[in-house]
Every structure is written in C-alpha cells, then in structure tokens.
Amino acid sequence: MSEGSVLVEICRDQPLFYRQALPSSGARLCVLLLHGIRFSSENCLRIGTLESLAAAGDRAVAIDLPGLGQSKAAPAPAPVGQLAPGVFLRQVCEALQTGPVVIISPSLSGMYSLPFLFQHSEQVKAYIPVAPICTEKFTAEQYSSVQTPALIVYGDQDTQLGEASLSNLKNLPNHKVVVMKGVGHPCSLDDPETWHKAVLDFLQLL
C-alpha cells in the first residue's frame, strides 16, 4: 500500500491525494475508486477494497476528490454538463498512467464519472456506479450510445438516490444490477463483504 499526490492542470496544479495498492505481479486491470461527499479514499482503505482488488490481481487507486479529504486545497472543476468534470478525470487518469480504467463511482462522484463516461467511453474499461448523483442530466439516448460494461449497485434502503439513479442508468445497454439487501446509501461501507464479492465477480468477467 502506498500514498502519493498527483498534479492535474484543471485543479490549478493543487495536489490531489491518492492511495494505491498493487498486485504482486503485473496488473490485469486498473481500478480507479472515487467517493461520496462525506467520505474519502480512507474509507476504501478501511473496508479493505484496495487490498481486495490487489489480491485479485488488479491495480487499485483511490483518489481524494477536489475540496475533500486530503485534496482540500484543490478547486473543484466547473459543474456537471460542462466539459470540465470529464476533463478532470481524463487528466487524473493520464497523470496516474492508468490506461483504460475501471471506474467505481458512488454518490457525489457521479458529477465527474458520468461526463467522463460520455466524453471518453473508449478510456473506460468498465463502469461501477453506486447510486451516483447527476444521472438525470443525461438523456436515454446518451446512455444507450455507451457500450461500456456497467455494474449498477445500490442498497435496497436507499429509496432516493438508489432508485432514481437506476431509472436512468438502466438505459446503459450493457449493464447488470446488484441490489444489496438491508443497507442504505453508503452500501459498500455498510456491507463490505457483499460489496467486494459483487465487484470482484463482475471484474472477473471483463
């Protein structure tokens, strides 16, 4: 496990903090983990996600988003619907040299991952949205044009964002849905064991 910081131009060269776990030999996939508004990369570390991905043979990188966690000094790019959020993630992937990437995107991070998915789908190996925000800002036609494999995850107690995001995300043509039982909005933190199994099973199919 290592920690570091990376500079991206769109954040005016204020550093973004990240944590990384590498497999013992060459990585099969690179997985970029984002987080929600009350969380940071520390949550991925605490529940063992980075470790689980590395043990499965994947490179796992969890960043602290601009203005949050240990990236507090970095200014957030312009709002969703404009080019900036998608450019932000493209610059992050370039700086971290991820190559085509699997993106895990809960809650707030949807404002970055969805524009990136639509603008740069060729750079997204797979997409794992976890009740993300901003799904309503894109049309059914936009969703249906993306062939990227997707695993849509939410907790069955998350009756607001979980179901609202599903109603839009289900327009992605190449998707599976996992509804986690007995958990709310931060479903991965509420039940890490079920979460890790769902993600690792999905990644094995790529």
From 35, 64, 71, 158, active-site residue: 158
Copy the structure tokens of residue 48. 């063992």
From 35, 175, 185, 196, active-site residue: 185
Active-site residue, 190 included: no
Active-site residue, 158 included: yes
Active-site residue, 107 included: yes
Cβ neighbours around 140 below 10 Å, total: 10
Instruction: Determine the straight-line distance between the first and last CA of the chain, rounded to whole angstroms.
Output: 24
CB 198 within 8 A of CB 180: yes
With b for 16 or more beta-carbon neighbours within 10 A and e for fewer, the 95-110 pattern comes to bbebeebbbbbbbbbb
From 107, 109, 113, 188, active-site residue: 107
Kind of pairing, strands 124-130 and 101-106?
parallel
With b for 16 or more beta-carbon neighbours within 10 A and e for fewer, the 122-131 pattern comes to ebbbbbbbbb
CA distance 96 to 182: 36
Kindly list the catalytic residues.
Answer: 107, 158, 185
